[in-house]
Structure 1
Amino acid sequence: MGLARRVRAVSERQLMTAAQRDVAARLGTLPPLPPRGVDRFWQQVYVPVYHRLPWKLRAAVMQAMPGSHRRTWHPPEQGSGPAV
C-alpha cells in the first residue's frame, strides 16, 4: 500500500472514530475507546484541523489524493447480436 493510500485510510478511520464519539456523546451511549499512541495525534491534531478547513480546500486536497474518487466509469460495450 502506498503512502498516500495509507494516509487516506488512517485519516478516514480517525474521522469516523471522531464522528462515533460525537454521536455517542449526543445519544448518551458508550464512546469508542480513547486513542493511544499515534492515534492520539490524529484525534487531537488532525481531526480538529480537518474540521476547521474550508470546504473548498478540503475538496482540493481530496482531489489531489489518489483513490476511488478518481476512477471514471466507461460506457458498457454494445452487444453485436442476440443474447441467446
Structure 2
Amino acid sequence: MNRLFWWVRTNSQKYLLEATQTELAKQYGRSGPVGRKTPEVVFWKYVFVPLYRRLPWSIKHRVIVAMPGSHRKQWTSTQKP
C-alpha cells in the first residue's frame, strides 16, 4: 500500500509543479514544459490538477495527514553529552 501512496504523492507533486511552471512561463511570454499526451498525463494535467486547486485547504490537509509518509516522522532531539 505504501507504494501506491508514494506513486500518488510523486505524480501529484510532479504535475502540480509542472502546471505552476507552465503558468509562470505564460506570464513571462515563454513556452512551458512539453510532454507526451498519454492517458495518464492527460488525467494528471487536466483532471487532477484543476480539481486539487479547487479543493479547500481543510480537505487537502485531511488527505495529507491520512496518507502515510515522511510528514508523519517524529524528529527526535539529540542531546549533547
Indicate whether the TM-score tops 0.5: yes
* TM-score where L is the length of structure 2: 0.88
Which residue does the alignment assign to 1:19?
Answer: 20
Q: Is 1:54 aligned to 2:56, yes or no?
A: yes
Contact 1:35 1:43 in 2 (8 A): no
Deviations 1:12-62 (A, max 9, x none): 101001010111111111210045111111100000000000010001111
* TM-score where L is the length of structure 1: 0.85
Query: Runs of 4 or more off by more than 2 Å in structure 1?
Result: none
Equivalents in 1 of 2:69, 2:25: separation in Å?
A: 30
Q: Count how many residue pairs are aligned between Structure 1 and Structure 2.
A: 79
Q: CA RMSD in A?
A: 1.4
Structure number with higher helix proportion: 2
AA at the equivalent of 1:33? V
User: Aligned runs of 1:1-80 on 2, under 5 Å?
Assistant: 2-37=3-38, 38-79=40-81
Gaps of 5+ in 2: none
Identity among equivalent positions (%) equals 37
Find the structure with the greater CA-based Rg: 1
3-state SS in 2 of match to 1:2: helix
More off after superposition, 1-10 vs 52-61 = 1-10
Equivalents in 2 of 1:12, 1:35: separation in Å?
A: 18
AA at the equivalent of 1:8? R
